[in-house]
Amino acid sequence: MVWFRAGSSVAKLAIRRTLRRGVSYAARTRVLSSGSRSFHTTIFKSKSEPGPVPRSVPLSRLSDSFLDGTSSVYLEELQRAWEADPDSVDESWDNFFRNFIGQATPSAGVSGQTIQESMRLLLLVRAYQVHGHMKAKLDPLGLEQREIPDDLNPGFYGFSEADLDREFFLGVWRMSGFLSENRPVQTLRAILTRLEQAYCGSIGYEYMHIPNREQCNWLRDRIETPSSIEYNSQRREVILDRLIWSTQFENFLATKWTAAKRFGLEGGETLIPGMKEMFDRSANLGVESIVIGMSHRGRLNVLGNVVRKPLRQIFSEFSGGTKPVDDVGLYTGTGDVKYHLGTSYDRPMRGGKRIHLSLVANPSHLEAVDPVVIGKTRAKQYYSNDVDRTKNMGILIHGDGSFAGQGVVYETLHLSALPNYTTGGTIHIVVNNQVAFTTDPKSGRSSQYCTDVAKALDAPIFHVNGDDVEAVVHTCELAAEWRQTFHSDVVVDITCYRRFGHNEIDEPSFTQPKMYKIIRNHPSALEIYQRKLLETGETTKEDIDKIQNKVTSILNEEFGASKDYIQQRRDWLSAYWSGFKSPEQLSRIRNTGVQPEILKNVGKTITTLPENFKPHRAVKKIFADRLKMIETSEGVDWAVAEALAFATLLVEGNHVRLSGQDVERGTFSHRHSVIHDQETGERYCPLDHVIMNQNEEMFTVSNSSLSEFGVLGFELGYSMENPNSLVLWEAQFGDFSNGAQVMFDQFLSSGEAKWLRQTGLVVLLPHGYDGQGPEHSSARLERFLQMSDDNPFVIPEMEPTLRKQIQTSNWQVVNVTTPANYFHVLRRQLHREFRKPLIVMSPKNLLRHKDCKSNLSEFDDAKGHPGYDKQGTRFKRLIKDQNGHSDVEEGIRRLVLCSGKVYYELDEQRKSVNSKDIAICRVEQLCPFPYDLIQRELKRYPNAEIVWCQEEPMNMGAYTYIAPRLATSMKEVGRGNIDNIKYVGRAPSAATATGFYGVHGKEQSELVQEAMQPDPIANPSLA
């Protein structure tokens, strides 16, 4: 190990000497010229000083910054490992050791080169690969004060100016890029020039954190090119044309709508040529469809210039727009501001191919759209049988502040390599304008780069100076190639600036005076590029003017046409959605019962395990019990009902996908949808075998990463692609769904109204008071109800053939109490001509409750069977009292309305006190409110006091939602008003539930006792 100790010692001594002389490596730079190229490097130590005398020092005792104590121990270990097996170390280290121990002889070599010098030179090369980006010229404004790391200084390794023209041997075996050329000799000056050119120009590459050797070599081959990337004049003309479009688009909007907010791209205009190049390159490499997600900044420019939303439409929306009309029926919703709207377009590409582009509509909430885009991309891959994920790709455009600050970015990144969530790589572009509203990066993040979060994924990160349009184009091209080659994420960080305020009417100098002083005098990227092209003589002033005039005249033409523009089609109707009804169009109510033979057949399939499979003992018993349920048609429990719903939908050709934390087994160990062989560990999923040759993804059940926001967003995006799929997300406990609150507020409850996009996503939220404490009891039912948009004071048309109540509501909220009803509510999601989100308060203790069972006959569509009414077998929005009451029961003194599992406790109590004069009805569908069925029950019990009973505290649960709607129903049938509604339930509370089991038990029994008490119940306002 002598060679190494000696080398380290040289470096260490050199540093000490330089430090003694007071030279700061980092701070002082000067230019050394080398022919036509030049590079910046730090001061060398004086030529006249004698060289350091190599002295043997154990590595572990060295403590300089490059080879600190830890790394030197590491290197010794590395060498030992290499000596034992050369393949056990990274290729670059293999080279290193091979060259300096295995093969090199300590002769004077080229120009007197010593082994130590070669070794130090290699370390210098490696330092450029690792840290070169720190010296790259990334900031167009030149504001950034970055310390250049010591290890980029040749002096750090003992080289002096005298060494610049000495020749060194640097060729190494099995290396890529620069080092692969195996040139016998190069001067130090040439070596440094190439390193500077490759790593310290307008692009800073971060990739040495990637542990995969092949990937690093692939990148080195593209970065360490013999000369810098040059585009030919044809490509340059295209780049120029695109940059002119990007720049003029913003200028045009600025002159036509001077006071409008548009969150312009000025300062970052090179994004557009970059994106277009990325798309061209992707199309050439086989991509056919791209799903794009982005927030406000430059969105209109991307919509117009990249996605090609008609400019006249964008301009029309700017002028206030007209509500879209449709030839079949109106579907206008509430609309959204112009910079949130989405669109899709089939775009012809340079090279003749076509590519489908869709920009997903998004809310103001930064980065919230990320997982939605990824989910939609994954769904596209499923439906187009894109098994190697090369035809459909997701692209996310981020802001620097939000990429670093918003947690959902990390949650989305972490889906990227999970088998059931991967999309084969997302390309991330950061429009890094070095400010977030009024906040500087130093207040906005703790990391050096805004992109550092992506290092957790081993994604390469290309930082590029946004003023250098060719460099931007190059990195975008490289990112496209990376994605198609390695099928993993990659980041392009365009360092640019924001020419105006956060929006156009904002004053940026209040908070960034120095920055804006520079920006005011800073030429645009277009001016810089034009100047460059004119200087090289490739382009003339006339050529440029020609393009400028063409763009201006098209913009003016489109502006003229925008005045009469009327949106004709509902653009949400992609092919899969054709025939689906808007809320304005009547759709039929369908039955959800299934033929008895089908139920029996699929029932057997999903409850039978392969012969040689060895499940856990308890699971074996569960499956034996399940088979018995099917065979006897009795006692069907929750899990079997759910599996039957999935299986019958699969038989009908639908795709079913359930994801969430631990959903395969089920949080409450009830689902067991994937079983594990206890000897081999093999997995078996019965629902994968429902139809012949079933595509393995047709039924997907998947444990997810431990994220709510990211995974719910993903499933939402997935559900939006094709209506013929039942997509479900389950929270571990309902409480945890509030980690995904943005998804509920901004997408699920209001997405259709804002963006005319439907989804039939099902959200399963375990809910119920069983003494598990404040965080495992409530799914916050009240919040979902509070966001429901059905009018509490207006009873809509409820006649079955004319009813559009659900269609016109924003979503459905149910709290189902029987397995059969759960089966029907799931099937109903697909057996209708529109899609609507479904929020399910799903049970916990009902999963095993002795009375929470259904007979198989309640699932089928056989006439005369229990669930069959004159319209067939369907989901019951309300379950009437089970005591066989007739149409009018005058002797009933109390009608208790409730929802969820408290029903079973009330029924138990009623039996125990033998209160035959109390009726209990279950409101299974809370929203939209079943006015017709409630009125039917009110009429059935003309003398009953009306009680709402819930187990949640008064300020939670369904009470505040139910009260006005129940009162409206009562008024309509002459049964009083809101003052006549009695409340039984927990008192108002800050916490959802008590943490003391004993207290819980007491509260629970008191409330069921009160509901069944002999005396009238007090009015809540008088109690």
Ligand X SMILES: Cc1ncc(C[n+]2csc(CCOP(=O)(O)OP(=O)(O)O)c2C)c(N)n1
Report the interface residues with ligand X, using CB under 6 A.
Answer: 297, 364-366, 399-402, 431, 433, 435-437, 498, 502
The minimum distance between CB 727 and ligand X, in angstroms, equals 25
The partner in contact with residue 488, picked from Mg ion, ligand X, none with C-beta cut-offs of 5 to 8 angstroms by kind, is none
Strand partners, 463: 204, 493
The partner in contact with residue 140, picked from Mg ion, ligand X, none with C-beta cut-offs of 5 to 8 angstroms by kind, is none
**In this chain, which of 386, 400, 708, 858 binds Mg ion, going by CB under 5 A?**
400
Region from 33-41, 395-403, 460-468, 894-902 binding Mg ion, contact rule CB under 5 A: 395-403
Encode 308-327: b = buried (16+ Cβ within 10 Å), e = exposed. Answer: ebbbbbbbbbbeebeebebe
Return d(Cα 90, Cα 87) in angstroms, integer: 7
Q: What is the x/- site pattern for Mg ion, positions 406-435, by CB under 5 A?
A: ---------------------------x--
CA 224, 227, 228 angle in degrees (round to 5)? 85
What are the helix and strand counts (H, E) for the chain? 30, 28
* Pairing state between β 945-953 and 981-986: parallel
- When the beta carbons of 264 and 985 are compared against ligand X, the nearer one is 264
The partner in contact with residue 322, picked from ligand X, Mg ion, none with C-beta cut-offs of 5 to 8 angstroms by kind, is none
The minimum distance between CB 436 and ligand X, in angstroms, equals 3
The minimum distance between CB 494 and ligand X, in angstroms, equals 11
Task: For residue 267, state whether it binds Mg ion (rule: CB under 5 A).
Answer: no
Strand partners, 355: 347
496 in Cβ contact with 297 (< 8 Å):
no
- Token readout for 798 is 């409820």
The minimum distance between CB 400 and Mg ion, in angstroms, equals 4
- Token readout for 275 is 């994106």
The partner in contact with residue 366, picked from Mg ion, ligand X, none with C-beta cut-offs of 5 to 8 angstroms by kind, is ligand X
- When the beta carbons of 293 and 401 are compared against Mg ion, the nearer one is 401
- When the beta carbons of 269 and 400 are compared against Mg ion, the nearer one is 400
Tokens 């290197």 appear where?
75
- When the beta carbons of 154 and 399 are compared against Mg ion, the nearer one is 399
The partner in contact with residue 483, picked from Mg ion, ligand X, none with C-beta cut-offs of 5 to 8 angstroms by kind, is none
CA 330, 331, 337 angle in degrees (round to 5)? 130
The partner in contact with residue 437, picked from ligand X, Mg ion, none with C-beta cut-offs of 5 to 8 angstroms by kind, is ligand X
Return d(Cα 150, Cα 96) in angstroms, integer: 21
The minimum distance between CB 265 and ligand X, in angstroms, equals 9
Q: Of 1004, 931, 940, which is closest to residue 962 (Cα–Cα)?
A: 931
- The residue of the chain with the least Cβ separation from ligand X equals 399
- When the beta carbons of 445 and 853 are compared against ligand X, the nearer one is 445
- When the beta carbons of 93 and 437 are compared against ligand X, the nearer one is 437
The partner in contact with residue 622, picked from ligand X, Mg ion, none with C-beta cut-offs of 5 to 8 angstroms by kind, is none
Q: What is the x/- site pattern for Mg ion, positions 350-389, by CB under 5 A?
A: ----------------------------------------
The minimum distance between CB 431 and Mg ion, in angstroms, equals 7
Region from 106-114, 174-182, 391-399, 678-686 binding Mg ion, contact rule CB under 5 A: 391-399
- The full DSSP string for 768-793 is --SS--TTSS---HHHHHHT----TT
**In this chain, which of 152, 198, 300, 436 binds Mg ion, going by CB under 5 A?**
436
The minimum distance between CB 467 and Mg ion, in angstroms, equals 16
Q: What is the DSSP letter of 52?
A: P
The minimum distance between CB 433 and Mg ion, in angstroms, equals 4
The partner in contact with residue 7, picked from ligand X, Mg ion, none with C-beta cut-offs of 5 to 8 angstroms by kind, is none
> Exposed, middle or buried: residue 531 (CB in 10 Å: 0-12, 13-18, 19+)?
exposed
Could you give phi then psi for residue 841, rounded to 5 degrees? -80, 100
Size, binding site for Mg ion by CB under 5 A: 5
The number of C-alpha atoms within 13 Å of 923 and in the hemisphere containing its C-beta is 31
The minimum distance between CB 508 and ligand X, in angstroms, equals 11
The partner in contact with residue 402, picked from Mg ion, ligand X, none with C-beta cut-offs of 5 to 8 angstroms by kind, is ligand X
Task: For residue 399, state whether it binds Mg ion (rule: CB under 5 A).
Answer: yes
- When the beta carbons of 404 and 946 are compared against ligand X, the nearer one is 404
The minimum distance between CB 250 and Mg ion, in angstroms, equals 16
Return d(Cα 1023, Cα 1021) in angstroms, integer: 6
Q: Of 253, 260, 261, 255, which is closest to residue 305 (Cα–Cα)?
A: 253
- Cite the DSSP H helix spans in 684-780: 709-721, 741-742, 751-755
Strand partners, 187: 167
326 in Cβ contact with 554 (< 8 Å):
no
805 in Cβ contact with 928 (< 8 Å):
yes
- The four Cα atoms 408, 726, 807, 977 give a dihedral, to 10 degrees, of -80
> Which residues lie near Mg ion (CB under 5 A)?
399-401, 433, 436
